[in-house]
Structures are given as C-alpha cells and as structure tokens.
Amino acid sequence: TQLLEQSPQFLSIQEGENLTVYCNSSSVFSSLQWYRQEPGEGPVLLVTVVTGGEVKKLKRLTFQFGDARKDSSLHITAAQPGDTGLYLCAADTTDSWGKLQFGAGTQVVVTP
Amino acid sequence: DVKVTQSSRYLVKRTGEKVFLECVQDMDHENMFWYRQDPGLGLRLIYFSYDVKMKEKGDIPEGYSVSREKKERFSLILESASTNQTSMYLCASSYPSGYSGTTNTGELFFGEGSRLTVL
C-alpha cells in the first residue's frame, strides 16, 4: 500500500486544456514536494508546500496543500506539450534524514 | 550547475552476476539515496546514507548493498542479480537534514537514472 495515492494514473489532454492531479494520504505531513520527470531524465523539483492551506503558483502551475496537510493538488492551466511528463508527489517521513516517500505518479500527455 | 552523475545509463546483465551502480555528486551533499522506479509503483527507497561510511536501509533493501567510502560517491551493489531486479535505478542527493525528530524539506537532486535489465 502506497503512503501517497496519486490520481489519475494517466491523463491525456489537448493543448490548451486544463488539468488537475491529486495526491492524497491518510497521514499528516509537515511538507510535500512535487516533481516532474521527463523521459530519460531524473525527477526535478517543481515546488515544496509547507503550510496547511498554502497555495503556490509557478507560471501556469498552481499547487495547493490541504488544510489538514494530508493532501495536495497540482493544477495546470492551458496545458502545453512541454508540460508532458510524469508528475510525482513526495512527502517527508516522520523520522529524520530527509527520506522522502513518493507516490506512484501521474503520467500527463499533452498533444498539440 | 549542480550535478548528480550515474555511471551507466543502460546495463544488461545475466542472472547471478554481480552488478555495481555508481553515483557521484558535486554539490558536497551529506545525504545520498538510491531508489528504484517501476511502473505503477513510483520510486521506492533502497538505501540511503547521511555521511561517509554510514548507511541505512530503506523500504526495499533485500538483495542490495551499498558503499560510501567518499562523500561524493555512493555505490549500489547487487551481489547476485536476479530478474526481479530489472528496473530503473535513480540516485539522488540532498543537503543535510534536521536533527533527529525534526523534519526535512530538502530538495532531492537526481541523476539521469540507470536502466538495468537482468536476463
């Protein structure tokens, strides 16, 4: 059983459409990170959210951390082909040393 | 530019062979990690190290060992490769964590991955 459940697993949309990816857990986290992984590359950090209810924007990407710090969402407005990739959420475990637990990821494909 | 370099992008090995996957980072990070990535399962932590010669088991350490003789280098070893170890292996590093009992929001810097096929 995954500590972090991501949905949907796969999303295929046309350029210009909007999309939302979800990351849910029954555990409370002090922070949560979103990464994007492109084919043949390692994941790259997009954002870290720390405060319950926090909203962060990165150009057309909007990230939200749930009030209870158990869930998060990533919303992309007017998606572009360059947004294609595997989106992963990750959260720090309750112990130290910076270990992160990852969700299974959402594969996003944006076609022109 | 910060960089995590994995020695091999693609490897094909036979069952029973010993496999070494090497990872080098140039950011003077204390923490280094090895994950494996499989479709539908995300990234699963194999081992991590928070200092030279220190190592801790992750969630799936069985069949693997690690070595950290120098701060910049973290090696993953498969003593006797098996077909169920066919996977993408990702190395990562990060800045030091907080003290025990506190949390860490440190960014992970990943290498490009090593795709291992065991026949």
CA distance A83 to B105: 24
Domains and CATH numbers, chain A: 5-93+101-111 (2.60.40.10)
Instruction: Give percent above pLDDT 70 in chain A.
Output: 93
Q: What share of chain B is helix, strand, coil (3-state, %, to 5)?
A: 5, 50, 50
Sorting pLDDT into bands at 50, 70 and 90, what band is A93? low
Give the H or E element holding residue B33.
strand B31-38
pLDDT computed for residue B99 by the predictor: 39
B63 touches chain A (CB under 8 A): no
- Comparing CA positions, the residue from B30, B62, B26, B28 lying closest to residue B44 is B62
Whether A102 and A89 have beta carbons less than 8 Å apart is answered as yes
CA distance A109 to A100: 26
Q: What is the CATH number of domain B4-79+91-96+107-118?
A: 2.60.40.10
Give the H or E element holding residue B112.
none
CA distance B12 to B38: 17
CA distance B108 to chain A (A): 7
Whether A58 and A46 have beta carbons less than 8 Å apart is answered as yes
Residues forming a β-bridge with B76: B21, B66
A43–B111 CB contact, under 8 Å: no
Q: Which of B4, B56, B104 has the highest number of chain A CBs within 10 A, making it the mutation to test binding with A?
A: B104
Q: Which of B103, B107, B109, B115 has the highest number of chain A CBs within 10 A, making it the mutation to test binding with A?
A: B103
Q: Across all residues in chain A, what is the average pLDDT?
A: 91
Tell me the pairing of strands A106-111 and A10-14. parallel
Domain segments of chain B: what residues? Answer: 4-79+91-96+107-118
- Comparing CA positions, the residue from A85, A94, A2, A45 lying closest to residue B43 is A2
List the single residue in A with minimal CA-CA distance to B91: A42
CA distance A92 to chain B (A): 7
CA distance B59 to chain A (A): 10
Dihedral over alpha carbons B1, A63, A48, A100 (to 10 degrees): -100
pLDDT 10s digits, A31-65: 889 999 998 899 999 998 888 899 999 999 999 99
pLDDT computed for residue A27 by the predictor: 86
